């Protein structure tokens, strides 16, 4: 469920017509619904209300400060994978004891930042990282909570570029070696082992991979406790999928995901941490765009719009689908025709969808790419020297620009020409 619906013949974000945002902010522009963000976060809390838990929003899905503050004010923790994301979480008012630091390549600078600013735990991805963190923490006179990320070698049955739990993936320590790695972690200064971490991938639409991975985590937890480790937290990752196609069967609900957690690890008495990102923010956002030209081609018609692959990379990078809908509501029974919806970037890969069924369209018409709240704005770039796409947050009948579109002058001012040129 989201809060992007037709009202009075116009697609609206909550109670704000998207045409109004286009007129005042321009296009392309990302638009987020505060009500949808609030509802989706609440569903995950409800799914785990049977146990102590912390829902940590995966900042990599959408790192806008306003989005992070909204979720943080609701009680969300934050899962970060870089120093920049850590800084964003802190700037949004999230305390360090609600921030989990993940990621395979943490630098000493990033580790120091988190130790000084406060951290709930580091999720360790490798033995070299474990030794580096130990040496740094000890040199600072600090002891930091850690969990070791284990790779359970479970196929998440998702896109190969977002699968993270198979043996050939770069993430985590092979679960078969976990006990020896935990023994070493417990012997190192500056580290305090508190939990086990696992994350098998993103956009999962089947609960069976979770069930298989969490069963392995449960067995490992019992073995680690038998070895003398105090395992009090389980970080079970995130990755629950969203319905990118409205005509398809919906992925499992958070409440069903929570039941899998309860059935597999609920008897261990551990605090549960999860790291949803896409499922909270994906359907809470759309990318609003305007038609530049309708072009007749050889055997096909092109809808050339002002959004491009630099604004929404997912279709070009992953072959991802986003439902595309007109902002002006079509009449009941209106004829549709197939369009190849493309952007203006000088790449054939700048194609959002081939054969998208849309009503008759003309230059100046507005369209919306649905389910664009996750991995949209955060992956945007200024390729072709196109200004970074702005973002808007809607609440009820009002909205605010939460990231402005830079001017050409602001873009150029970031470059400098050496005095010898």
Q: Is residue 109 part of a domain?
A: yes
Q: Is residue 420 part of a domain?
A: no
Cα first-last separation, the chain: 56
pLDDT band at 201 (very low <50, low <70, confident <90, very high): confident
Domain final position from 227, 254, 276: 276
Scanning 1-107, the segments in alpha helix (DSSP H) are 18-25, 34-47, 65-73, 83-91
Looking at the 3D structure of the chain, how many domains does it have?
A: 2
Domain region containing 156: 63-276
Q: Are residues 290 and 203 in the same domain?
A: no
d(CA 399, CA 401): 7
Known binding residues for pyridoxal 5'-phosphate: 239, 275-278, 375
What CA–CA distances, in Å, run from 141 to 123, 135, 144? 20, 10, 10
What CA–CA distances, in Å, run from 275 to 43, 377, 396? 13, 19, 27
d(CA 71, CA 144): 25
Q: Are residues 297 and 251 in the same domain?
A: no
Strand pairing category for 271-274 and 99-101 = unpaired
Q: What is the pLDDT of residues 137-196, one digit of tens each?
A: 999 999 999 999 999 877 655 445 444 444 455 568 999 999 999 999 999 999 999 999
What CA–CA distances, in Å, run from 174 to 9, 87, 216, 217, 239? 55, 31, 12, 12, 20
d(CA 143, CA 185): 12
Q: Select from 327, 336, 334 the least CA-distant residue to 358.
A: 336
In the predicted structure, residue 269 carries a pLDDT above the cut 80: yes
Q: Is residue 75 part of a domain?
A: yes
Domain final position from 276, 303, 327: 276
Report phi then psi at 37, rounded to 5.
-60, -45
pLDDT value of residue 194:
97
pTM beyond cutoff 0.85: yes
Q: What is the pLDDT of residues 8-56, one digit of tens each?
A: 999 999 999 999 999 999 999 999 999 999 999 999 999 999 999 999 9
Q: Are residues 289 and 383 in the same domain?
A: yes
SS3 of residue 105 by DSSP: coil
346 classed as catalytic: yes
d(CA 380, CA 387): 10
Domain final position from 259, 276, 293: 276
Q: Are residues 373 and 269 in the same domain?
A: no
């Amino acid at each position: 469920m989201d809060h992007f619906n037709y009202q009075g013949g116009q697609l609206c974000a909550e109670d704000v017509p998207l045409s109004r945002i286009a007129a005042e902010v321009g296009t392309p522009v990302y638009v987020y619904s505060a009500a949808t963000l609030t509802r989706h976060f609440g569903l995950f809390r409800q799914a785990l209300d049977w146990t102590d838990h912390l829902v940590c929003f995966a900042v990599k899905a959408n790192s806008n400060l306003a989005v992070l503050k909204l979720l943080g004010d609701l009680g969300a923790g934050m899962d970060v994978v870089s120093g920049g994301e850590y800084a964003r979480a802190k700037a949004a008012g999230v305390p360090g004891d609600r921030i989990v630091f993940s990621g395979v390549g943490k630098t000493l600078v990033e580790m120091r930042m988190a130790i000084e600013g406060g951290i709930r735990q580091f999720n360790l991805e490798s033995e070299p990282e474990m030794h580096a963190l130990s040496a740094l923490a000890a040199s600072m006179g600090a002891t930091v909570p850690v969990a070791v990320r284990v790779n359970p070698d479970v196929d998440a049955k998702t896109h190969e570029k977002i699968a993270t739990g198979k043996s050939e993936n770069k993430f985590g320590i092979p679960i078969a070696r976990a006990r020896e790695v935990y023994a070493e972690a417990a012997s190192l200064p500056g580290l305090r082992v508190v939990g086990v971490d696992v994350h098998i991938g993103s956009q999962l639409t089947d609960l069976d991979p979770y069930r298989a991975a969490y069963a392995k985590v449960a067995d490992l937890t019992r073995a680690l406790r038998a070895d003398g480790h105090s395992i009090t937290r389980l970080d079970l990752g995130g990755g629950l999928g969203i319905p990118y196609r409205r005509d398809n069967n919906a992925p499992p609900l958070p409440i069903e995901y929570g039941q899998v957690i309860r059935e597999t690890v609920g008897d261990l008495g551990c605090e549960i941490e999860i790291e949803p990102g896409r499922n909270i923010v994906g359907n809470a956002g759309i990318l609003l765009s305007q038609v530049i030209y309708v072009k007749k081609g050889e055997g096909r018609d092109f809808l050339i719009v002002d959004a491009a692959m630099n604004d929404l990379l997912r279709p070009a990078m992953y072959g991802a689908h986003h439902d595309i809908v007109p902002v002006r509501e079509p009449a009941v029974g209106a004829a549709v025709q197939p369009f190849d919806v493309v952007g203006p970037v000088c790449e054939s890969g700048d194609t959002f969808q081939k054969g998208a069924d849309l009503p008759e369209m003309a230059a100046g018409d507005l369209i919306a790419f649905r389910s664009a709240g996750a991995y949209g704005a955060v992956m945007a770039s200024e390729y072709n020297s196109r200004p970074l796409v702005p973002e808007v947050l809607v609440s009820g009948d009002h909205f605010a620009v939460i990231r402005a579109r830079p001017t050409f002058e602001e873009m150029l001012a970031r470059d400098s020409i050496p005095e010898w040129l």
